Homo-oligomer: A and B are copies of this chain.
Amino acid sequence: MSLPHAILTALLEKKSSGLELTRRFDRSIGYFWSATHQQIYRELGKLEADGLIRALPSEQPARGQKKSYEVLPAGRAELARWTSASQDPKPHRDALLLRLRAAAVVGTAGLETDLRRHLELHERQLAEYQEIEERDFPPGREGAEVRLRHLVLRAGIDLETFWTQWLRRALADVAELPDGGPAEPA
């Protein structure tokens, strides 16, 4: 139940319309909390109904019109409450690890190309994070907000680094195995 809080955070960082939020979820925020435009519009409606945000009364809000939102005090309070509240980590689900485990019983045929593709994706993501770090976080001690955001980015960088390394190892391992794997031995 974190999407509303992701949106509140994004709106506090900068007042935005639905589409602007969607774009920002495709970069930045979406790196650790993705959402489609459908989810965002729906949630904006709920948040407005609950009095946590409000539409800026600039233009009349009709279809095809931009409608920007800002966070109300109640919204900020709710976000602060949620941020400080204790939460159990949600169980992870990783299809790639599952597939490797499946490959242990039905064979590794066809896996290698996809592992390579995943490796490329993670390498690209890592490069992107590193660019962001160079651009937005030059060395030197900054304020609390910047340091926290840098910490989050570091998590992204280190995670992608982990995955690229693990995938390289996985590729090396899989390459040594017979194609059919243990299920269909030569």
Taking Cβ atoms with an 8 Å cutoff, the residues of A that contact B are 2, 5-6, 8-9, 12-13, 29-30, 32-34, 76, 79-80, 82-87, 89-111, 113-114, 117-118, 121, 143-145, 147-149, 151-152, 154-156, 158-159, 162, 165-166, 169-170, 173-174, 177-178, 181-183
Q: How far is the CB of A182 from chain B (nearest CB, A)?
A: 4
List the B side residues contacting A151 at CB < 8 Å. 100, 169-170, 173
List the B side residues contacting A5 at CB < 8 Å. 98-99, 102
Complex-state Cα separation, A125 to B149, whole angstroms: 27
The 10 A-B residue pairs whose C-beta atoms are closest, nearest first, are A84-B110, A34-B91, A104-B148, A32-B97, A145-B182, A80-B106, A9-B102, A32-B94, A83-B102, A12-B105
List the B side residues contacting A76 at CB < 8 Å. 106, 183
User: Across the interface, do A145 and B105 meet the contact criterion of CB distance under 8 Å?
Assistant: yes
Pairs A–B under 8 Å by Cβ, sample size 10: A8-B102, A9-B105, A32-B92, A33-B94, A33-B95, A34-B92, A85-B110, A143-B182, A148-B173, A158-B162
